Structure 1
């Protein structure tokens, strides 16, 4: 691992922030000010989601719920509907819980330190560091995928970023480098650098504003960083989705359990099967509908079944208008679209 002396650190800060001031993505709506509420909402939305996609969601969310108090008072169904399509809905539920803690338990007073922000529901090390540095000027590195990629190349850090203990290695290496006067801008500059000149694939290293600090490029091994073991392939699970209408043409939905994938969402009743031979009902598609979660891959076969009149406690029929008002997970939208087309 490269070790920088104090002069190199100061030169790096100056060059990075000079570039950020000129070319950083300061047009992004969540960067208009450093309100901790806006920072928290944007950071949770940006996890696992492209920036271009988040812009629309963020603006819509802020229009509907402009303050942390508005979010705290909002019904969960409204929050989930505003989040619909972003996926990872536990983020939305945790954001809602965090807003209630700030608005009601803390009387609107935000935790300001990295350690105190970690006590909010759903706020992990990266999010806490981002809010602490951007909103409250705490000198702490916000270590995410961009951070790993940028500094693994700059400093030639060989530790496997897929291992949780590696975060501490990066933290200790980079904490002395974070600009003490502009820690929030420093972290956001690293984010921008990691999505432009130092991308995962096809980086434009030759034009990078920090080229002279890039040890991996200098040594001709940039493509080897960051070091990361491959994820295991997601486990395949097959389901039949029961398509059942009542006499009025309303469609049957079933509320998912409170824990596990798609917790507390309404979906068509899903029943596990080992193979297509186990389908019970009229097969409605030639191919299965597929949806990949981080560790699971679902194959779903819609089958139409008769209305028996009996409903379980977690089942009910929804009209077309009622379905439109529901916050539905992406996989459910896929099923409905397939049914519409078939």
Structure 2
């Protein structure tokens, strides 16, 4: 059994009395100081699962309204399993990392087909579901089902490395095994969900990365890094992944009917299923680009679409004086910066007026009014682009 094996590999350097005192101290603090969050008002495994997936990569205060809206629209596993993709993406719009909600729907379909519509009750079984890793499985199993399974996230790793002054890189598998082994031995078997949530709250409020108020920690008596003044040394992390920079042109194609062209990103693309202005990666040196050079990538892209416009049928939608003055041209083409994990995008907005429209488009291209667009799922990037182009639009 995994639990027994790693405990034997990494026995905790505490006595049973110390472990029990630690549990009592931590849970007494939690009972007084725990955060009032909507998913803590329920033991429904589905709602706990939704909250845990949303909380990945997203701040608690941001998640709350999304969680409430999602649960109202899709109140159970069956509703999630059967939801239309656009419904899912609209409910998730603004949270980013859309693979999370797609994986969650796949997992819901697994649950309907393999588990009779009920989430499995053990962390081991939960890990067989799409998008549920060790942390999420531990959180659901402990909170919803009372299984003494740690939910090892960044907060818990930071706390444990400080408590025991573990100086190994937390990116190493052996360090994660040691932290997990210690937590298996520390977790309260009677209140495992509260134990995990207490450590999450402590890591989010007091034992933070900056560690600005260490004197407020209820765990000072157990914390070697507090006693030695070394908290800022833990956890030890390997150097961060390099952020790569990319430049894009976002073409705002407007037809004579007052509609704008939008494209739905296909399978395998970043932001799959979401609607955007046509985005074309480019290598132009923008402060040296002419109008013709700015439109050449668009001309090339249009040849592979249903829109057979010739270059004579569109032009930059700017006053003519700006179009031939490079400095004025750049000043009136807004630049938006947006980061996706380890990719930093610089997106130049290029408004283009088209002299005709086309009614026969593929499913990935649509002419839409701005009001119509509000009902389509968009990424945070597209929302930024719209807000920069039309600040009064209200998206």
Tell me how far apart the structure 1 counterparts of residues 363 and 99 of structure 2 sit (CA, whole Å): 24
Structural mapping, 1:1-342, within 5 Å: 3-25=13-35, 27-275=36-284, 276=286, 277=289, 279-280=294-295, 282=316, 285-307=332-354, 309=357, 314-341=364-391
Secondary structure at the aligned position of 2:205 is classed as coil
- 1:19, CA displacement in angstroms? 1.0
Secondary structure at the aligned position of 2:185 is classed as coil
- 1:184, CA displacement in angstroms? 0.7
Q: Is the 8 A contact 2:334 2:388 kept in 1?
A: no
Q: Is the 8 A contact 1:45 1:54 kept in 2?
A: yes
Q: Is the 8 A contact 1:196 1:204 kept in 2?
A: no
**For residues 28-76 of structure 1, what are the alpha-carbon distances to aligned partners after superposition, in whole Å with 9 as ceiling and x for unaligned?**
1101122110111000111111111111111111122222222222212
- 1:291, CA displacement in angstroms? 0.3
Tell me how far apart the structure 1 counterparts of residues 158 and 376 of structure 2 sit (CA, whole Å): 39
Tell me how far apart the structure 2 counterparts of residues 230 and 196 of structure 1 sit (CA, whole Å): 25
Secondary structure at the aligned position of 1:292 is classed as strand
- 1:104, CA displacement in angstroms? 4.1
Structure 1 unaligned residues grouped into runs of 5+: none
Aligned-residue Cα RMSD (Å) equals 2.0
Q: Is the 8 A contact 2:256 2:357 kept in 1?
A: no
Structure possessing the higher radius of gyration over alpha carbons: 2
TM-score using structure 2 length: 0.82
Secondary structure at the aligned position of 1:95 is classed as helix
Q: Tell which deviates more after alignment, 297-306 or 328-337.
A: 297-306
Secondary structure at the aligned position of 1:195 is classed as helix
Change (3 A) 1:314 1:68: same
Change (3 A) 1:312 1:271: farther
Secondary structure at the aligned position of 2:65 is classed as helix
User: Who is 2:306 aligned against?
Assistant: none
Report the count of equivalent residues: 341
Q: Tell which deviates more after alignment, 99-108 or 319-328.
A: 99-108
Tell me how far apart the structure 1 counterparts of residues 368 and 136 of structure 2 sit (CA, whole Å): 37
Tell me how far apart the structure 2 counterparts of residues 121 and 317 of structure 1 sit (CA, whole Å): 35
TM-score using structure 1 length: 0.94
Secondary structure at the aligned position of 1:259 is classed as coil
**For residues 171-199 of structure 1, what are the alpha-carbon distances to aligned partners after superposition, in whole Å with 9 as ceiling and x for unaligned?**
12221111111111110000011011211
- 1:309, CA displacement in angstroms? 4.6
